[in-house]
Amino acid sequence: MSRKFLLMSIIILLAVGGFFAYRLIRQSKSNAPTSQPFSEQQRTTEAEKIKKEFEDRVKQAAETDSDLDGLSNEEEKKLGTSPDSADTDSDGILDFDEIKTRKTNPLKADTDGDGKTDGYEVRRGMNPLKK
């Protein structure tokens, strides 16, 4: 079999395949308006609904977590941290991380009292809970 023939058959295959794909697309397009008469409108309202839901959630988050550190104002009130500051003791670790991951004191910049702030120790791979 010559290379020319192989090339020809590939081109013919592509052409036939393309023709059928084109017919299939045309068919599904012509079917769309009859099967879903309000699809465009429905899609718009659906998108608006999702957008509104998202905006509501952002608004809600801003209301319940003023400093957006991951702890709700309610939680911060209980913990004694500032709901308006993501890093109450300014040690370089967010209140959320101090509570949930580091287990350090979010109200004390130097939890273990060794003279180095928690943020300094974490950045240097030291244990902020041990002197």
Q: Find, among 113, 77, 120, 112, the residue nearest to 95 by Cα.
A: 77
46 or 84, CB closer to Ca ion?
84
Does position 97 bind Ca ion by CB under 5 A?
no
Residue 108, sorted as left (phi over 0), alpha (psi -120 to 50) or beta, turns out to be: beta
3 or 69, CB closer to Ca ion?
69
Question: Cβ 34 to Ca ion, closest distance in Å?
Answer: 53
Please pick, from the candidates 16, 20, 114, 129, the single residue that binds Ca ion as defined by CB under 5 A.
114
Rg of the chain over all Cα atoms, to the nearest angstrom: 31
Q: Find, among 29, 27, 96, the residue nearest to 67 by Cα.
A: 96
- Contacting Ca ion within 48-67 (CB under 5 A): 65, 67
Q: What does the block give as tokens for 13?
A: 């295959």
Residues that bind Ca ion (CB under 5 A): 65, 67, 69, 71, 87, 89, 91, 93, 110, 112, 114, 116
